[in-house]
C-alpha cells in the first residue's frame, strides 16, 4: 500500500518551510498545525461550503478556511506582492484549471529559490476519464492564446459525454471491458448542461485536461521547448500498481533547454497495457521470491527451483 502523503510531501520540512496548498477543500494535505501554510482556492470558504453542501463525498463543515481566493490572473496578486513559498502542493487540481500554461507560470512566480511544486495528478487510464483522449499541445496552446478563465463548451461536452464508471483495479488487471463502460450522462443531459453554461456564463467545474504520466511529461517537454514552462522536473513517480494517480515534483528553472531536457529524461520508457503491467509485476514478485529462496541450504528446495529459474529466464528474455 502506497504512503500517499509521503509520495506527495516526502522530503519537505513542513514545520520550517513556508507553503501554499491549492484547493484543499475538506482534506488538506498540510494542516495548519504542521507548519506555516496558506490555503488558496477559486472561491471563498462560504461559497465552497454552499457549493458542496449537497455532494455526498464532502463534509461542508470540514472545508478549511480559505486564506486567499484565486480565480484567475497572478497568484502573487492575491497572496501579496513579494510573498513567496518554499513549496506549493495541489492534489487533483491541475486537471481542472482552464489555462494550464498561465496557472503553472503563476505558481512558478511565487516560488522561492530552490522551491518545489508537488502535484498529485489522476491517471486517466484508471478513473472516469478513461474513455477520453489525452490532452494535446494544440488544446493547451489554444487555452493559453484565449487566456481562458473558464472551461470552454467543448471541454464540458467532452467530459459529460464520455466520463464513465471505471473500476481501477479491474483496469489494472486487464479485466475491464471498455466497450461496456457505463457513461454518467445521456447526450441530452450533456447538451442541456453545456447550453446552460453558455447561456448563463456560469463556471462549470470540469476536467479540462486528461493525462497519463507519459502524456503529461511529453506535454511539459513540448511547452518547455516553446519557452512557456519555467519549471524543470525534479521527480515524476509513475502511477503505483493498482492505484489511480501519479506524482510530480517541479522546481524553477530559467533555461528552456534544461527544462525540456529534465522532462524528456523522466518520460516513462515503457508505457504498457494493463495486462502487460500486471504480468510484469507478477514476474518481478516471482523473481524476488526466487532470489530469497536461493539462499536456502536445503537441497529439496533449491533443486526444483532450478527448473523455475530456467522458466523465468525464458519468460523475461
Q: What distance in Å separates the CA atoms of residue 305 and residue 311, rounded to the nearest whole number?
A: 10
Grid cell digits, residue 207: 476536467
Q: What pLDDT, on a 0 to 100 scale, did the predictor assign at position 292? A: 47
β-pair partners for 21: 39, 89
Q: What is the tens place of the pLDDT at every residue in 270-294?
A: 555 445 455 444 444 444 444 444 5
Extract the runs of DSSP E, i.e. beta strands, from 197-260: 231-237, 245-252
pLDDT for res 313: 55
CA 312 – CA 317 distance, rounded (Å): 8
| Start-to-end Cα distance in the chain | 29
Residues in the chain: 317
pTM of the entire predicted model = 0.83
Cell of 280: 510484469
Question: Residue 176: what pLDDT?
Answer: 93
pLDDT computed for residue 39 by the predictor:
98
Regions of the chain short of the pLDDT cut 70 = 1, 269-317
Q: What is the pLDDT of residue 105?
A: 97
What is the per-residue pLDDT for 267?
Answer: 87
Handedness of CA 239, 160, 136, 254 (dihedral sign): negative
225-247: pLDDT as tens digits: 999 999 999 999 999 999 999 99
Amino acid at each position: 500500500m502506497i504512503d500517499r502523503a509521503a509520495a506527495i510531501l516526502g522530503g519537505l520540512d513542513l514545520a520550517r518551510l513556508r507553503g501554499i496548498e491549492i484547493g484543499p477543500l475538506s482534506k488538506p494535505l498540510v494542516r495548519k498545525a504542521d507548519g506555516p501554510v496558506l490555503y488558496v482556492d477559486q472561491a471563498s470558504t462560504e461559497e465552497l461550503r454552499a457549493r458542496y453542501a449537497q455532494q455526498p463525498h464532502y463534509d461542508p463543515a470540514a472545508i478549511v478556511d480559505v486564506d486567499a481566493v484565486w480565480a484567475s490572473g497572478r497568484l502573487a496578486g492575491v497572496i501579496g506582492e513579494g510573498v513567496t513559498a518554499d513549496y506549493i502542493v495541489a492534489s487533483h487540481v491541475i486537471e481542472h484549471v482552464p489555462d494550464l500554461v498561465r496557472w503553472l507560470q503563476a505558481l512558478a512566480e511565487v516560488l522561492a529559490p530552490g522551491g518545489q511544486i508537488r502535484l498529485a495528478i489522476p491517471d486517466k487510464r484508471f478513473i472516469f476519464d478513461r474513455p477520453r483522449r489525452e490532452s494535446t499541445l494544440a488544446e493547451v496552446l489554444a487555452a493559453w492564446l484565449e487566456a481562458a478563465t473558464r472551461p470552454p463548451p467543448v471541454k464540458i461536452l467532452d467530459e459529460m459525454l464520455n466520463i464513465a464508471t471505471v473500476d481501477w483495479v479491474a483496469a489494472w488487471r486487464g479485466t475491464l471491458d471498455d466497450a461496456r463502460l457505463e457513461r454518467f450522462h445521456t447526450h441530452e443531459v450533456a447538451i442541456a448542461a453545456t447550453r446552460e453554461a453558455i447561456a448563463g456564463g456560469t463556471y462549470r467545474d470540469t476536467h479540462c485536461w486528461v493525462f497519463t504520466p507519459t502524456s503529461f511529461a511529453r506535454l511539459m517537454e513540448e511547452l518547455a521547448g516553446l519557452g512557456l514552462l519555467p519549471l524543470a522536473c525534479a521527480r515524476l513517480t509513475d502511477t503505483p500498481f493498482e492505484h489511480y494517480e501519479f506524482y510530480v515534483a517541479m522546481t524553477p528553472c530559467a533555461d528552456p533547454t534544461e527544462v525540456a531536457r529534465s522532462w524528456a529524461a523522466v518520460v516513462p520508457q515503457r508505457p504498457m497495457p494493463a495486462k502487460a503491467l500486471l504480468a510484469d509485476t507478477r514476474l518481478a514478485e516471482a523473481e524476488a521470491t526466487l532470489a530469497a529462496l536461493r539462499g536456502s541450504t536445503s537441497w529439496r528446495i533449491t533443486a526444483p527451483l532450478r527448473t523455475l529459474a530456467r522458466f523465468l529466464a525464458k519468460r523475461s528474455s
